[in-house]
Structure 1
Amino acid sequence: MLTRKRIPAQNMQTYIEAVPGWNSTVFGVQFGVLVAVLVILTLGMIGRGLIVTFLPRMMKKIADERKGFEDFQITSRFPLGAAAAGFIWWHFFTILSTTEGIILNDEFIFWILSLSKAALLIGGLLGAIRLVEFVEVIARLIDDDGELDGTQVTLIDALQSVLKLLIFVIGVVLIADGFGFDLGAIIAGLGIGGLAFAFAAKDTISNIFGALTLLLDRPFKIGDWIKVGSSEGEVVGIGVRTTILRTSNDTVITLPNGKLVNKDIENYGKRRWRRYRPVLSLDLNSDAKDVEQFCRGVEELISAHEGTTKKEDSFAKVSAISKDSIEISLNVYWTEGGKVERDGKEDLLLDIAALAQDKKLRFHDPRVRSSSN
């Protein structure tokens, strides 16, 4: 024998009528209905508590405590918890509002459903936007060493920005639809005002396409030191609209992406080597053979230094003779910049000074006038 399955509203009515004295009124509301409202509110708070408590633990286990996850788990749980509570409230209050045999104020139903839907949609929107940052956690899990380089950081930042924008637009549409706005009229209005909006936002659109161009062409990445016109600094951020540089004076320069793609960009970060061309001045009275041996010795020092490269193109040659000095030009290529280059220069110059002392050569002092033998 087949039994007819009860619909949710019938179940709700059964539960309400099971409450002792359910039909008595408290504050103008049936006691059973009041109990049902309190139970629904409690269920929503329990759902919120479960999300807030267990979601971070689940995500933390998945992410294996990767760097950058702590901030994610703290801030994402609250909007998602609100969304869970809103869903529970909206679902059960909708059933309650369609249950026969109960007395509920229409205004109460309207506001309780509206607030529940607001918690669901707004909490879901904020939670979804915050969940976008989990893209970085996934990227770290996939990456071999768990550390992202500048290019990966740039791509992840751009992907997160695009996803947040899409989620925001979709969320706004869902919220508008959830509160009964006429989407057809809204879309029609957007169509009419689309041209005006596009004209007003042309700079923003240009910057967004500029960001896409930068990401596809990759003229630089985060961490590179670049020069654009009169602006020079380290790339610390590439956003949807702007690129941020930090200068050697620790100031910040903001460059619109739309203008950046139309300018010449000099990227020091892509250098394969750093060229160093000092000039040494020896006393004019130095012995020619000693000077020649000194030059060969300097070339050996350059070749033997572990921080140099392009050995075949490196040299130490007499380049000029003035009335006071013999000029020796050096051509050196360093493999790295920054501290490595500075330390390498110091070591090389001190070795050259020691070599000059060994050869009994004196560097030219412009304060001392040379005399002929």
Structure 2
Amino acid sequence: LANLLGSLLIMFEKPFRVGHWIKLGDTEGIVESIGFRSTRIRTFYNSLVSIPSNTLVNSTVDNMHMRTYRRVRTTLLISYDTPADTVEAFIEGIKQLVLDSPHTRKDRYRIRLDDFSDFGLQILVNFFLDVANTKAEQVERQQILMGILKLAESMDIQFATPALMPVPEAPQNT
């Protein structure tokens, strides 16, 4: 009975529809069907999860499909050898890439020197895309990230990577 009432609430309130990307606890995926007893979600591992309607009604459902903007957040790690003036110019260049894109939110972005790590300078890149779907999000995200890569190349900025130290072989007993 609880599942039937839950399914009726889902059908009337419509917090999500078939085809929407939702998150519910540890479950995340695309809604494949909404039934009286349960809702089926196809996860990004391609498994099918059935969630009882009563569980859905009593849980927090994050409908990713209904986002107005899509957040992009990454941290760039650049070499400590980069001069401070070059770091500032690089940050300004990234800001300009975000502002020049027709698909970014202009009032909420953050690009800044964020921290000093063991391996390099951390630059936070955080902005929002105004796109209709995941495919467009991936295309626009790549456009801006490629722009950042080209900007770094043009400014001769090296991305830092953690150094892997070879482990010396133990002497062999003879």
TM-score band, normalised by the shorter chain? 0.7 to 0.9
The alpha carbon displacement at 1:227 in A equals 2.1
1:319 Cα deviation (Å)?
A: 0.8
Q: Which residue of 2 aligns with 1:268?
A: 64
Secondary structure of the residue that 1:327 maps to in structure 2? strand
Cα gap change, 1:251 to 1:323, in 2 (>3 Å): closer
Partner of 1:243: 39
2:12 aligned with 1:219, yes or no? Answer: no
- 1:83 match: none
Using structure 1 for the length normalisation, give the TM-score: 0.41
CA shift for structure 1 position 361: 1.8
Partner of 2:125: 330
Residues 1:312 and 2:107 aligned together: yes
Cα separation, 1, equivalents of 2:17 and 2:30: 10
- Cα displacement (A) at 1:323: 5.1
Match of 2:96 among 300, 311, 334: 300
1:340 match? 136
**Contact 1:225 1:267 survives alignment (8 Å):** yes
Task: Point out the more displaced range, 324-333 or 358-367.
Answer: 358-367
Shift of 1:260: 2.0
Q: Does 1:287 align with 2:79?
A: no
Query: Deviation per CA, 1:282-310, whole angstroms, max 9, x where unpaired?
Result: 1112111111111111001011123322x
Describe the SS at the equivalent of 2:107: helix
Task: Compare 347-356 and 337-346 and name the one that shifted more.
Answer: 337-346
Query: Aligned-pair distance for 1:318?
Result: 0.5
Residue type matched to 2:36 in 1? V
Contact 1:224 1:235 in 2 (8 A): yes
Which of 142, 147, 153 is residue 351 of structure 1 equivalent to? Answer: 147
Seq. identity, % = 29
Q: Is the CA contact (8 Å cut-off) linking 1:207 and 1:242 kept in structure 2?
A: yes
Gaps of 5+ in 2: 166-174
Structure with the bigger percentage of helix: 1
C-alpha deviation, 1:257, in angstroms: 1.3
Instruction: Select the structure of larger CA radius of gyration.
Output: 1
Cα 1:247–1:322 change in 2 (3 A) is closer
The verdict on how the C-alpha distance between 1:351 and 1:368 changes in structure 2, with shifts beyond 3 A counting, is: farther
Query: Deviation string for 1:188-238 (max 9, x for gaps)?
Result: xxxxxxxxxxxxxxxxx3222111111222221221111223332211211
Q: Is contact 2:24-2:59 (8 Å) kept?
A: yes
- Does the C-alpha gap of structure 1 residues 304 and 368 become closer, same or farther in structure 2, counting only changes over 3 Å? farther
Amino acid across the alignment from 2:47: T
DSSP-derived class of the 1:208 partner: helix
The aligned residue for residue 321 of structure 1 is 116
Coordinate RMSD, CA, aligned: 2.0
Aligned length: 164
| AA in 1 matched with 2:107 | E
Structure showing greater relative contact order (alpha-carbon pairs closer than 8 Å, 6 or more residues apart): 2
Q: For 1:10-45, what per-residue CA distance to the aligned partner results, in whole angstroms no more than 9, with x for missing partners? A: xxxxxxxxxxxxxxxxxxxxxxxxxxxxxxxxxxxx
1:368 CA displacement:
8.3
Alpha-carbon distance between aligned partners in 2 of 1:368 and 1:255, rounded to the nearest angstrom: 45
The alpha carbon displacement at 1:258 in A equals 2.4
**Larger strand fraction of residues:** 2
Q: What SS does the aligned partner of 1:361 have?
A: coil
Residue by residue over 1:327-349, the C-alpha shift from the partner in whole angstroms, topping out at 9 and shown as x without a partner, is 11111112234222222222212
> After the TM superposition, which parts of structure 1 deviate over 6 Å for at least 4 consecutive aligned residues?
none
1:31-46 counterparts in 2 under 5 A?
none
Summarize the alignment of residues 108-119 of structure 1 with structure 2, pairs less than 5 Å apart.
none
Equivalent residue letter for 1:314: Y
Conservation of the 8 A alpha-carbon contact between 2:119 and 2:161: no
TM-score normalised to the size of structure 2? 0.83
